[in-house]
Structure 1
Amino acid sequence: MSTLENQQSARQMYRNMLRWQVLATLGVALLAGILAGSSASISALLGGTSVIAGAWTAAKIAEKGQSNMQATAALLNLLKAEAVKILLIAIILFVIFKFYHSLVPFALIAGLAAAALFSGAALAKAQTEV
């Protein structure tokens, strides 16, 4: 497989992962809204959005480093992408806790967990389209 095909395959995988995360977040937000109201729905959306933003940023970092095929460079690039993702999620969650006063913590955690779990599931089933 050529480098261009590898890059296109990786982009497809990242898009698929983000799609799964968005659908999972929307599903949890809808369920939270039905069960506990609009504040819970917004909290779930915020939790899922923090993971989605982190994953999107990590995907962009990982895409940039794909041209270097050395094992050490690839590993360092993946570690850098993961560190940026975790840091971004932590910053977004700090901002949410600081400024959203109607926060429903359980809904926020449910949205965050759904997006995180479905990112792993989407990567495991990278060829499955949504």
Structure 2
Amino acid sequence: MAALETNQSATQTYRNMLRWQAIAMLVVALVAGALAGMPAGISALLGGGAVIVGAWFAAKIAEKGQSQTQATAVLLNLLKAEAVKILIVAMILFAVFKLYQSLVPFALIAGLAATALFSGAALAKSQTPV
């Protein structure tokens, strides 16, 4: 019973984190779009979206390892999740730089940074639903 409650709690925490990230990404995209035009808004969405997709995959990996209790196994699972997240973000950003001709780099970085920062803030405030 406790493992099921822990799993539900962790799943809710990950969902809450992704919601906070999506809100941050949308706010930055709206501001960038209003200040610098549609390409800047799209660039911010692409930057934030890369982080959200990477975080989603990392959360799935972290969820799979929740039954492990050894410190080494937990640490390796977290490192694996973080490595996958970084790899996915890097691949998406590479594709964005290659394929999106109207890219506004500052907006992309702003979307990426806001979304990444809200990842940590959401985990710190994991009990505060959005």
The answer to whether TM tops 0.5 is yes
TM-score normalised by structure 1 residue count: 0.98
Partner of 2:29: 29
CA distance in 2: counterparts of 1:24 and 1:125, whole angstroms = 15
Q: Who is 2:47 aligned against?
A: 47
Mapped partners of 1:12, 1:62: distance in 2: 13
Shift of 1:16: 0.3
The AA in structure 1 aligned to 2:73 is A
Within a 5 Å distance, the mapping from 1:49-68 to structure 2 comes to: 49-68=49-68
For residues 110 and 41 of structure 2, the distance between their equivalents in structure 1, rounded to whole angstroms, comes to 10
Structure 2 matches for 1:110-125, cutoff 5 A?
A: 110-125=110-125
Kindly, what percent of the aligned residue pairs are identical?
A: 75
Structure 2 unaligned spans of 5+? none
1:93 and 2:93 aligned? yes
Q: Over residues 64-88 of structure 1, what are the superposed CA-to-partner deviations in whole Å (9 max), with x where a residue is unaligned?
A: 0111121111110000000000010
* CA-based RMSD: 0.8
The amino acid that maps onto 1:47 is G
Count of residues in Structure 1 that have an aligned counterpart in Structure 2: 130
Q: Match of 1:69, SS? A: coil
TM-score normalised by L of structure 2: 0.98
Q: Within 2, Cα distance between the matches of 1:41 and 1:110?
A: 10
Cα shift at 1:9: 0.7
Give the whole-Å Cα distance in 2 for the aligned partners of 1:100 and 1:33: 16
The residue matched to 1:67 in structure 2 has which SS?
Answer: coil
Shift of 1:2: 1.1
Please identify runs of 4+ aligned residues in structure 1 that moved more than 4 A.
Answer: none
Spell out, residue by residue over 1:49-68, the C-alpha distance to the aligned partner (whole angstroms, 9 max, x if none).
Answer: 00000000000000001111
